[in-house]
Structure 1
Amino acid sequence: MSELDVSAIPAQPNVNDPAVYDWYRMMRDEHPVHRDPVTGWWVVYRYADARHVLTHPETFSSEMHRMGFPETGLESLPQMDPPRHTRVRGILSTAFTPHSISEYEELIVRTTNEIIDGFIGKDRIDLVADLAYTVPIAVILEILGLPAEDRHLFYDWARKVMGVTPEEMAQPDFAEAMGRLQQEAITYLREKVRERRNKPGDDMLTRLANAELDGDRLTEDETVNFANVMFAGGHISTTMTIANAVDLFDLNPAAQAEVRANPELIGQAMEEVLRHRPPITTGLRASTRDVELAGVMIPANQHVAASFCSANRDERQFPDPEAFDVHRRSEGRHFGFGFGTHHCIGNALGRLESRLVLKVLFERFQEIQVDRDAVGWALPPQMVGFDSLPVALRAA
């Protein structure tokens, strides 16, 4: 076990500053486990160590209420350990079958084309506001069976929750403030879940409200909370992934030309987008005991954050990790949608949406050029991507 000499560690650049990747490399080499001086979190930078944290829930728990995170009375899948997590995820999986997800392909393509039709004729748009945000939120509202006119409600709720900073999490009144933020969305969704149990419809919310495995069903609280997580986490991650893909292909024109010429490469290329620039920066856990990792002793009851951005660029796992290589095969290994027990249950839908939106974009526009002087990076430190991405368009 070693003592860390942290006196010479420079401050971390912003997660959306390309300089951060040199900083991550330095941390992997010299300080692979490091207690962040601002948040107090123990951050894990190497791939193997991050994977260990994400696959050992008995030592690194997802039950964040241990650390003062809010307990709303709901059972939250992302904040749940086995065996409870195993039970709930098993029931949810009956509503998230590969067949049910594939049924949404026509919806996604139709929605994307309709939204693009709305700005055809313009030579410049904000790709985030006009497409990368609009498509996922419209799709998920229709999938859940919720009114399209309620789109603004969910956008506001999601942005408030995703906009919480690590410094705010460390404040003594964080749990109370977060509980207030979530309550409005929870109240809305509870009403809709009760409606679906009394009067089923042909939508995902009905499937969730009535999902069953071996006679076991989700409680109302479990259904409400998962619908909330599905909406907030699902559309934000997909929005970031779509915008990141457009940006990375603009930065790598040879890769873009190859994918345009060979559309069958899009699925694999999107995996490289998720590895190269994962939409969520970290997977947060709580240590259940004193544990040694990479020669560093982490005390019990501490925040432990697996750095997805650093682990996905770890040269010990990925050859030439800084290269954007659309031929790289990394699905099942990168942390673009988390890993292990909490690998995102909605990842198939997110992958399908991202892949189809990019395919339609390449079919409808022969040129999509990012205005690099006008981009607006996402502000919350746990997201990697854009608040705005102005692009010039040339129709095909």
Structure 2
Amino acid sequence: MTASTTVPEKPDVLSDEFAKDPHSYYKVMRDHYPVLHDEVSGYYFVSRYDDIARIYKDSDGFSNENYGFQMEPVIGKTVIQMSGREHTVNRQLITPALRGNYLEELLPQVDDLATEMIDKFRTAGRVDLVEDFTKWFPINVIVKMLDLPRTDLAKFHEWYSSLMAFLSNLTNDPEIHAWGMRTQQEYPAYILPIIAERRRNPGTDLISRLTQAEIEGEQFTDEQIKALIGLLLIAGGETTDKSIASTLKYLIQHPDQLEAVRNDPSLATQALVETLRFHPPVQIILRTTTDDLEVAGTVIPSGSVVGCVNGAANRDERRFEDPDTYNIFRTDISIKQAFAGSADHTAFALGRHFCVGSLLAKREAETAINQILATMPDIRFADGTVPADAGLFTRGPKALVVEFTPVS
């Protein structure tokens, strides 16, 4: 006789229980439901590493058309949903600003912004690093890049929060839809006059550079720049915020690794990469099938929305050794390739649509991690309480309250 194997119940991806602790369900998905069809949203959630890597790299079988309803209604059409020559040209127009000389010029200012923000609580002895630092640091960097008033930071945070909610609104919540529609009106009214003025009188800021950029005789329109800046707010704000907060959280939980980073600041990169694997800030990225396609034995119909569950893929024991252990010294992931389209983790997607702003995110996180650790030599969770995470599409600590002895 052979013992019968009980198949666990199919996880409800939209349930409160799933949102509280998705990692407890990810292994069930990988082992028993590698393609999980959710009847409420109609989406197909894929959880194994090899399947997700294939989806990201197969630009013929899987498209980014889903961003047409996820983002375009709020900020307009962006490079993230383009394909073919349109995608190539737009990406070539963007890349120099986020990976070229301009980025090198910006980096010292990134360091200065971090120092300025940390100085405000350097002697406090207790601080919520999410509310007082990680939530605002990436937006400060973007506002600096765009040469916009820092007094408008709250507006930018409101707009990118509404866009993130709209993007991940699987249940079609009418209040979230209405929030996105308000941003659809408020954001263009604010940014389009600024873009028009920079086109007339360009400076050295990113908006001015985008108005002047040209590839094969093509330039960005004001509407395209508006959409791109909206994308930059959400991609550069929400995800970097959560990457930094999560990395600090896991280092505090692993004091030996924290001390290693403190003693060798270059290891901050390894800590960030391990966080991108262990607990990616973007847990789910969507794609759309362009034909009937088979994934893990399941045929996904043409035109279906596919949820690539990065949080599950990056802990797939078929790909990573001891995947549920946070280890900045692991040898089964390349640090050199971690911020390129050939990365081992899936946090930034893979292939042609790999996040073009990954190098900026890398530098922001390195700066933040090293400056925080240098400022707080005995950093610890306040009251010994490990902070809880929140979010389905993007996920990170809701708060990160720490205590430390101020350095004189």
Structures share fold, TM-score greater than 0.5: yes
| Residues in 2 aligned to 1:264 and 1:285: alpha-carbon distance in whole angstroms | 35
Q: 1:143 maps to what in 2?
A: 145
Other-structure match for 1:224: 226
Q: Which residue is 1:311 aligned to?
A: 313
* Range that drifts further, 171-180 or 338-347: 171-180
Residue 344 (structure 1) aligns with: 355
Using the TM superposition, name which of 133-142 and 325-334 deviates more: 325-334
Q: Write out aligned runs for 1:314-333 (5 A).
A: 314-328=316-330, 329-330=333-334, 331=338, 332-333=343-344
**Map of 1:389 onto structure 2:** 400
**Partners of 2:68 and 2:199 in 1: CA distance:** 33
Q: Quick one: structure 1 residues 82 and 273, their matched pair in 2 at CA, closer, same or farther if it must change by over 3 Å?
A: same
CA pair 136-29 structure 1, distance change in 2 beyond 3 A: same
Indicate yes or no: 2:35 matched with 1:9. Answer: no
Q: Which residue of 1 aligns with 2:374?
A: 363
Letter in structure 1 aligned against 2:321: P
Identity %: 29
Q: Say if 2:125 and 2:403, in contact at 8 Å, map to a contact too.
A: yes
Residue 313 of structure 1, CA deviation: 0.7
Preserved CA contact (<8 Å) 1:165 1:381: no
CA distance in structure 2 between the partners assigned to 1:365 and 1:254 by the alignment = 15
Partner of 1:117: 119
Distance 1:362 1:177, change over 3 A: closer
- Alignment-derived partner of residue 47 in structure 1: 49
Which residue identity lines up with residue 49 of structure 2 in the other structure? Y
Q: CA deviation at 1:125?
A: 0.8
Shift of 1:377: 3.4
Query: 1:72 Cα shift?
Result: 6.3
Secondary structure of 1:217 counterpart = coil
Residues 99 and 357 in structure 2, CA contact (< 8 A), matched pair in contact too? no
Q: How does 1:194-209 map to 2 (within 5 A)?
A: 194-209=196-211
Instruction: Kindly state the Cα deviation for residue 59 of structure 1 after the two structures are TM-superposed.
Output: 1.9
RMSD between superposed Cα atoms in Å? 2.5
Q: Deviations over 1:57-87 (max 9, x none)?
A: 2221102266687556933112222231111
Summarize the alignment of residues 122-271 of structure 1 with structure 2, pairs less than 5 Å apart: 122-164=124-166, 166=168, 168=170, 170=172, 178-271=180-273
Check conservation: 2:159, 2:187, Cα contact below 8 A: yes
In 2: Cα distance, 1:92 partner to 1:113 partner: 28
Q: Equivalent residue for 2:28?
A: 26
| 8 Å contact kept, 1:282–1:309 | yes
| Superposition deviation, residue 104 in structure 1 | 2.1
CA distance in structure 1 between the partners assigned to 2:222 and 2:201 by the alignment: 15
Q: Distance in 1 between matches of 2:85 and 2:318?
A: 33
Cα distance, 1:95 vs structure 2: 2.2
Q: What amino acid maps onto 1:80 in structure 2? A: M
For 1:321-364, what per-residue CA distance to the aligned partner results, in whole angstroms no more than 9, with x for missing partners? 11211123342111222222221111111110001111111111
When the two structures are superposed, what TM-score results if normalisation uses the length of structure 1? 0.91
SS at match of 1:43: strand
Partner residue of 2:275 out of 248, 273, 276: 273
CA contact (8 A) 1:283 1:308 kept: yes
1:376 Cα deviation after fit: 5.4
Deviation at 1:94, TM superposition (A): 2.6
Q: Residue in 2 aligned with 1:100?
A: 102
Consecutive unaligned residues of structure 2, counting only runs of 5 or more, are 1-5
Distance in 1 separating the partners of 2:364 and 2:195: 25
Per-residue Cα deviation, 1:212-260 (whole angstroms, up to 9, x for no partner): 2233212222211101110122111111111101100011111111111
- Structure 1 distance, partners of 2:246, 2:17, is 16
Hey, what's the Cα distance between the residues in 1 that align with 2:366 and 2:288?
34
Q: Give, as a single letter, the amino acid of the residue that structure 2 aligns with 1:36.
A: D
Number of residue pairs matched by the alignment: 390
Distance 1:196 1:358 in 2: 34
Q: Secondary structure at the match of 2:393?
A: coil
Shift of 1:121: 2.1
Hey, what's the Cα distance between the residues in 1 that align with 2:362 and 2:67? 30
Q: 1:86 to 1:233 in 2, by over 3 A?
A: same
Query: What letter is aligned with 1:334?
Result: H
Aligned to 1:76: 78
Change in 2 beyond 3 A, CA 1:141/1:284: same
Q: Which residue of 1 aligns with 2:3?
A: none
Contact 1:39 1:167 in 2 (8 A): no
* One-letter amino acid matched to 1:368: I
Question: 1:377 aligned to 2:400?
Answer: no
Matched to 2:106, the amino acid is: Y
Deviations 1:179-214 (A, max 9, x none): 443332133221211111001112111111211223
Q: Distance in 1 between matches of 2:140 and 2:175?
A: 34
Q: Cα distance 1:180–1:140, how it changes in 2: closer, same or farther (>3 A)? A: same
State the SS of the aligned residue for 1:381. Answer: coil
Match of 1:163, SS? helix
